[in-house]
């Protein structure tokens, strides 16, 4: 189980390594499924995990990125104890983001979206509370005059009260979601840094 999970992680790490070196390399040497050797300015994503070489302008191999299987074998009998679920999350994280800045930007966009919903809920609650006060005043005027409060007015009062409660619950949910988003992206950012560090160690 652990070896299989490590394989998932190695695939993710080699994918990230490819993206980190893409700008620095002039040429890549890689093989397709039929064993044909190719020299291109990028490695197709589906072949990254099979390993490749970084070639200099002089035609020299300046770096060798081993395949995920080779990386796993290099770990010997002591693979990192990482769960399958975590390995899948790591791979998804590395495939989604190419840098820390991308994670931070995604976090800010998500926070802005939720903050907009929070502001909208607050504005709606304020309007409903104003409406509720007006309806309550009307009901109070009927009582002062010793008259029965119209059924339609009572229905409006009850409906407005329910709407206020609904939007207050939505507001609380979004405020909680705002904190959860911060925690989630902070966790992703920290994990991304750990994985990048792991890639850098593989390269050296």
Q: What is the pLDDT of residues 13-64, one digit of tens each?
A: 555 454 444 444 468 887 887 888 888 888 887 777 677 777 766 566 767 7
Instruction: Find the Cα–Cα–Cα–Cα dihedral 171, 172, 178, 183, rounded to 10°.
Output: -170
Between CA 123 and CA 170 the distance in angstroms is 12
Does residue 74 surpass a pLDDT of 70?
no
Mean pLDDT on 104-116: 95
> Residue 4: which pLDDT band, with cuts at 50, 70 and 90?
very low
Q: Is the pLDDT of residue 72 over 70?
A: no
The pLDDT of residue 75 is 52
How far apart CA 93 and CA 82 sit, in angstroms, is 15
- Domain residue ranges in the chain: 2-96, 102-194
Q: Write down the pLDDT at residue 24.
A: 47
Residue 5 has pLDDT above 80, yes or no: no
Residues 6+ apart with CB under 8 A from 119: none
Pick the closest to residue 192 from 102, 72, 120 (CA basis): 102
Calpha distance 43→19 (Å, rounded): 9
Nearest to 122 by CA among 172, 176, 193, 160: 172
**Which two three-digit tokens encode residue 27?**
């040429």
Token duo for residue 99: 């840098």
Separation of alpha carbons 29 and 42, rounded Å? 9
| CA angle (162 as vertex; 161, 165 as ends), nearest 5 | 90
Tell me which CATH code domain 102-194 carries. Answer: 1.10.287
Q: Give the dihedral sign, CA 119/125/131/133.
A: negative
Taking the C-alpha atoms of residue 87 and residue 97, their distance in angstroms, rounded to an integer, is 16
Q: How confident is the model at residue 70 (pLDDT cuts 50, 70, 90)?
A: low
pLDDT tens per residue, range 152-202 = 999 999 999 999 999 999 999 999 999 999 999 999 999 888 888 876 665
Contacts of 18 (CB under 8 A, 6+ apart): 43, 48, 52, 65
């Amino acid at each position: 189980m652990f070896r299989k999970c490590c394989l998932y992680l190695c695939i993710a790490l080699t994918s990230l390594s490819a993206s980190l070196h893409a700008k620095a390399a002039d040429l890549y040497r890689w093989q397709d499924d039929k064993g044909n050797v190719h020299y291109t300015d990028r490695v197709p994503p589906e072949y990254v995990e099979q390993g490749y070489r970084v070639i200099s302008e002089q035609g020299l191999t300046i770096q060798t990125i081993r395949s995920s299987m080779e990386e796993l074998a290099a770990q010997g009998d002591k693979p990192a104890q990482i769960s399958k679920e975590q390995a899948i999350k790591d791979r998804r994280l590395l495939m989604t983001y190419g840098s820390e800045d991308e994670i931070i930007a995604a976090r800010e966009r998500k926070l802005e979206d939720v903050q907009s919903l929070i502001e909208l809920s607050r504005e709606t609650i304020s309007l409903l509370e104003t409406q509720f006060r007006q309806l309550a005043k009307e009901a109070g005027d009927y009582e002062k005059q010793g008259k029965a409060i119209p059924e339609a007015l009572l229905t409006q009062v009850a409906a407005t009260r329910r709407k206020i409660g609904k939007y207050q619950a939505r507001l609380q949910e979004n405020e909680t979601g705002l904190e959860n988003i911060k925690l989630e992206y902070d966790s992703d950012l920290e994990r991304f840094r750990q994985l990048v560090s792991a890639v850098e160690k593989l390269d050296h």
